[in-house]
Amino acid sequence: KSRPPRLQPLGDGWWLKRPKEEGADVPALERLIGQPAYRGRQQQRSKKNSPSTPSKAKAKTASPKSVTDVNLGKRGIPTNTRVSERVQSRPKTSNVKVGSKPTGPNVRPGVGSEKDDSIDFS
């Protein structure tokens, strides 16, 4: 609490700045971990600072694909995984059973006259 508050914003790459040991020209952390810890840092900074090439940006936005034109099967993305979204390949079955009368206005399903169905072979 004895330190004065920071009046300036933090500098660029402040988390990479480590104190150097006396007489060393390489920070201690970089020497311990090695150069791979800082790999790509210069390229990233130069990419941010330099203006982007307009030819790449225009090429991608020139012909955007519609969502409906994307072939999901080619990319291995499953479709119609919900039962409610699937296209029914077989027709819906009706209440007609084999050997029974079709239901209609004068025929009740499941109710038949006993005289018609029973045959006596004695």
pLDDT tens for residues 93-107? 666 566 666 666 776
- Residue 20: burial class (beta carbons within 10 Å; 0-12, 13-18, 19+): middle
Instruction: Count the residues in the chain.
Output: 122
Only one residue has tokens 């206005």, namely 105
Distance CA 39, CA 37 (A): 6
Chain segment 45-59, per-residue pLDDT in tens = 778 888 766 555 555
Whether this model's pTM surpasses 0.75: no
Amino acid of residue 114: E
Q: Rounded to whole angstroms, how far apart are CA atoms 59 and 70?
A: 18
Q: Is residue 60 within 8 Å of residue 35, measured between CB atoms?
A: no
pLDDT in tens, 9-36: 877 777 666 666 777 777 676 777 776 6
